[in-house]
Structure 1
Amino acid sequence: MRRLVLCMLAILATALPAWTEQVKGSLLIAGGDFRLDNPGWPRLVDLAGGKGATILVLPTGSGDPVGSGGRIVEHLRGLGANAILLPLAEKGFDRPAADIVTDPVWIDRARHAGGFFLVGGDQSRYTAALLRADGTDTPLLAAIRTAHARGAVIAGSSAGAAIMSATMIKDAPETLDLLATGPIAGRTLGPGLGFIGPDWFVDQHFLARGRFARTLVAMDSAGYTRGLGVDENTAIIIRERKTAEVVGASGVVVIDTRTARRVPGWPFEQTGSVLSLLRDGDQMDLATGDVTPGSARADAPILPTSPGFEPDPELPATLATGDILAPWQFGRLMAQVLESRKGEATGLAFDAATPATRPAFRMLLTRNANSRGWAGDGITVLNLTIDITPVRMADPLFSPLRP
């Protein structure tokens, strides 16, 4: 199965543009639920060129393109941008998408725009509209790439974030099924638009929906070793594919599997993946992985290997959870592992209704000699290791305490 998925993605990749050109533009990748009071919005206007800059809003992924796109246009205009709704969607507009992507007027507007915003919804609608049947760029997408290479910002939330990598998750099954049997050929993974370049995989709603496990499977299946998991109401700003900065209320998980060991076959088994959790204001060099903490945390380092390290006394001696895929659970565990006495946490992922009939998974999150972080409004966590091992659960899981 994995070989088939890789072959399909390799064929699709041949239709993508070359990545050798220099890109002067920025990306603003939001993980969904990108609220209008998030400081990322004025940053988007600044990246597009400041007040008066033209930003084209693409509502293509939305089920209500006119309504959702219109609200974002209004908000960006309130911030001083010359925001314009680009009428590219399956419904809601008078002209079909095939006309818009070849329209010289819209192509010219895109080529000279300072920025683009891709509305959330269904990411497959973006690739269906902006890529030809053979996977090559439509004229409109080519114009967007030209503008980005010259300096324009491309932003997107939720589905607009999923399309940022060259391969995206299209329609993932339940995470336990994905861990048990792997991606479904032709359905789970598909071509994205690749604005971030060839080296990074992107997933969204990351902590709010417990998506770290599905991302690890997708990265392994598609051949990625670096990934970004962007949480809700949070964005990561990437400049010229070189540096990244986190903006917003939650965080971004950076995934590095370059030193991981993958046991062949399914169910999924992998050890040694390295994870970091970046918070608002944190910056990272994408080439070296070096992290500079945000000013709110820079003066409060957490150094577990230092002689003066004091574990959080309120944390239990043993960290464990029976549902590591639960909403927000993984982000909490990462912070707790960094500050705990033992520096490890065990989590389980299984089907409680029929625990013995489906593969279950034990996930061990551990601190190591390179783990460190900073405290403040949200804890930055660097270099934890995760091991995922298939296990068998008992059925029943429990028995009555009294007869």
Structure 2
Amino acid sequence: MRFLKPLLLLPLCWLSAVHAGTAIVIGGALKSDNDAVWERIVEEAGGPGARIAVFATAAANPERSAGLIVATLNRHGANAEAIPVAPRLKDVDLQAQLNNPALIAKVAASKAVFFSGGAQEFIVDTLQPGGQPNAMLKAIWQVFDGGGVVAGTSAGAAIMSRMMFRDAQDNLQILKGQWRERQEYDRGLGFVGPELFIDQHFLKRGRIGRMLPAMRSLGFKTGLGVEENTAAVVKGSQVEIVGARGALLVDLSEATSDARVPAFNLRGAVISYLDRGDRHDLKTGVTTPAPHKLREAKIDPTASDYKPYLRHDQYFLDILADSAIVTAMAQLLDSPFPEVRGLAYRAKPRPGDLSPDLGFEFRLTKGPGMVGWFSGALGGEDYTVLKVRLDVTPVRMATPLFTPLQAN
């Protein structure tokens, strides 16, 4: 497999511009009672009474989705209003709405824009047809460049980077090389800047499996995978995690691949798990754990007083399972073992499966600078884990993986 597709690039002026706004990237499945995230959106937009334009462009039922979002934002003090721009809105002339001067002016006068979940291709196809921003998208950029907020959940988060997953639901198919322009990937809108790649529903759906090959293909060195019901607040180079869980930071600046191997492979990736309340500076690479974490002792495997809490070794038979990659990172940090391994494979091939017997072994090791923190202060077993080394090796799986024992 070779990722040699030509890159889709936005105009150079977009890539070099310094934007004053705040991007709030929500990993999807945002609950209405997640006050930390909803209140942060309103706060960043200017506080009580902030005018927020809600786009349910991606939604299957735009009226319902927009109504729920507007109601929740207003309950948290905003002055939110739905903008009727969505391909699936009934009895609405989409092009007329996109070019409606009054509607465009209303968006431009807002302090924040919120994108719902759904299908992210609807957002880019509606606001950036043929890769060029239309008048409505320019109004949204006016909000952002004026120091306003662009927030988005699920599909609304996917569009935040300059390149995005368009429709790439099968992690293993991406690992195995299924990678087509305007099918698995497409241009995004680029609110987090040109150098950061975004993914969502990240831990729940094991999307480390698709992020790594996507970043290698598209030339990104830094990626941020945000978990469900969680937000990453991105302001310039500063990232803060807010909400229920955390986000995985992927650094491929020193990663290499062996071109002689006929499948995706990777050596020397560095991954970090940023938990709720943690802050990270993308420019300096410095992470500041949440205050409640800093009240606990730092876990440093190289320290003379290191006392690992976990005593058992573990091999992850499905490293792409719900939260498995972060569980493996915590296992590595808080156990005496130098590495943790896991498999990504499909025991039962699906129709059209590329290379049914191809799998991938993920090897996590304790590298230079690996440290972490643990806290139970918020009612869970919460880790922050920094600078885990990750290698991915393609492997040939047995088919079938196992056979039943026969009676004597």
TM over 0.5: yes
Q: Say if 2:391 is the partner of 1:391.
A: no
Query: What is the alpha-carbon distance in structure 1 between the residues aligned to residue 108 and residue 63 of structure 2?
Result: 23
Bigger drift between 92-101 and 275-284 goes to 92-101
Structure 2: gaps of 5 or more residues: 377-381
Query: What is the alpha-carbon distance in structure 1 between the residues aligned to residue 87 and residue 356 of structure 2?
Result: 41
Percent identity over the alignment is 37
Aligned to 2:52: 55
1:231-286 CA distances to partner (integer Å, 9 max, x unpaired)? 001100011x2211000111100000010011226411111100000011101111
1:105 CA drift (Å): 1.0
Bigger drift between 375-384 and 178-187 goes to 178-187
Query: What is the alpha-carbon distance in structure 2 between the residues aligned to residue 16 and residue 99 of structure 1?
Result: 30
SS of residue matched to 2:257: strand
1:181 CA drift (Å): 2.2
1:183 CA drift (Å): 1.0
1:97 CA drift (Å): 2.2
Query: What is the alpha-carbon distance in structure 1 between the residues aligned to residue 72 and residue 170 of structure 2?
Result: 35
Contact 1:26–1:151 under 8 Å retained in 2: yes
Letter in 2 for 1:227: G
Query: What is the alpha-carbon distance in structure 2 between the residues aligned to residue 320 and residue 96 of structure 1?
Result: 55
Aligned to 2:379: none
SS of residue matched to 1:172: coil
Contact 1:370–1:383 under 8 Å retained in 2: yes
1:56 CA drift (Å): 0.4
SS of residue matched to 1:154: strand
Contact 1:2–1:183 under 8 Å retained in 2: no
Q: Say if 2:94 is the partner of 1:90.
A: no
Map 1:245-284; keep pairs closer than 5 Å: 245-264=240-259, 266-284=262-280
Map 1:4-403; keep pairs closer than 5 Å: 4-5=4-5, 7=6, 9-10=7-8, 13-15=9-11, 17-38=13-34, 39-133=36-130, 135-172=131-168, 174-239=170-235, 241-264=236-259, 266-300=262-296, 301-313=298-310, 315-316=311-312, 318-353=313-348, 357-377=356-376, 378-399=382-403, 400=405, 403=408
1:15 CA drift (Å): 4.4
Contact 2:59–2:65 under 8 Å retained in 1: yes
Query: What is the alpha-carbon distance in structure 2 between the residues aligned to residue 93 and residue 341 of structure 1?
Result: 60
The verdict on how the C-alpha distance between 1:137 and 1:50 changes in structure 2, with shifts beyond 3 A counting, is same
Contact 2:315–2:340 under 8 Å retained in 1: yes
1:324-365 CA distances to partner (integer Å, 9 max, x unpaired)? 111121121111111111132110112213699421111101
Contact 1:233–1:248 under 8 Å retained in 2: yes
Query: What is the alpha-carbon distance in structure 2 between the residues aligned to residue 260 and residue 390 of structure 1?
Result: 16
Structure 1: gaps of 5 or more residues: none
The verdict on how the C-alpha distance between 1:172 and 1:280 changes in structure 2, with shifts beyond 3 A counting, is same
SS of residue matched to 2:266: strand
- Give the alignment's TM-score, normalised by structure 1: 0.94
Query: What is the alpha-carbon distance in structure 1 between the residues aligned to residue 402 and residue 237 of structure 2?
Result: 51
Query: What is the alpha-carbon distance in structure 1 between the residues aligned to residue 160 and residue 399 of structure 2?
Result: 42
The verdict on how the C-alpha distance between 1:359 and 1:295 changes in structure 2, with shifts beyond 3 A counting, is same
Query: What is the alpha-carbon distance in structure 2 between the residues aligned to residue 225 and residue 343 of structure 1?
Result: 26
The verdict on how the C-alpha distance between 1:249 and 1:3 changes in structure 2, with shifts beyond 3 A counting, is closer
- Give the alignment's TM-score, normalised by structure 2: 0.93
1:146 CA drift (Å): 1.4
SS of residue matched to 1:307: coil
1:209 CA drift (Å): 0.4
